[in-house]
Amino acid sequence: MSTIYILWLRQLKKYSRSTPRIIGSLGQPLLFLLVFGFGFGSIFAKAGGGSYIQFLVPGIVAMAVVFTAIFGGIELIWDRQFGFLKETMVAPVSRFNIMLGRTFGGATVSVIQGIAVLIISFLVGFKMQNFFMIIPAIVFMFLTAFFFTALGTAIASKLTDMQAFPIIMNFLVMPLFFLSGSIFPLDTAPKALQILGHIDPLSYGIDGLRYSFIGMSAFNPWIDLLILLAFSLVVLFIGKQLFEKMEA
């Protein structure tokens, strides 16, 4: 347990000391929020969808969470190249605890990024239906972050090339983001996209956030929670197998 705590704390310290990283990771979500939110807002309203900003913000918050979480895997490759990972691996502790500590730390950092984007979204006109629903919203953020941090760690454990990781992640994450109902309602999409959206784990994270923020959802929020939890446990198990076989 102390190993998990130490690695969790290390991730938070690295995050707090990296101002360029904090600012840079906010750039893409804010660009999407402003360009899509104001660019398509009038079209969305004319189609009878109401305020597009209200619809879009949960997806953009999830975007900030996911991109911060998934690219936490690159730190694993970095630590392997510069020797920190070997020092950790030779310690008399379970490798699974090491992975858990890194995953919890990365997920916590990702939730902080998501909350930062949420706060900024209030400045462009977003309004939560019930502010007390911020608690289930944070739960959905954390589960989403945990899943993608574990996924990034699992993939990074099989890679040694730092340049290959962002390419693979973009190839994987961008389709998941666009098929998740983040920028358009899934129930109005073509049938093929609806099917893909239903097997996309991010769809359930965004749907849970949308319910928490504005009281609107395509699925049952409890189903969102259970499916996200199931995806997280599966990818954690796979990541555990890969991490334990990894050579530092």
HEC readout, 49-114: CCCHHHHHHHHHHHHHHHHHHHCCHHHHHHHHHCCHHHHHHCCCCCHHHHHHHHHHHHHHHHHHHH
In which domain, by residue range, is 95 found? 2-245
Residue positions counted in the chain:
248
* pLDDT computed for residue 229 by the predictor: 94
pTM for the structure as a whole:
0.87
How many folded domains does the chain comprise? 1
Residue entry with tokens 């956030």: 209
Q: Across residues 179-204, what is the average pLDDT?
A: 87
CA distance 4 to 99: 8
pLDDT exceeds 90 at position 62: yes
Please give the Cα distance from 10 to 16 (Å, whole number). Answer: 10
> Would you say 30 and 119 are in contact if contact means Cβ atoms under 8 Å apart?
no
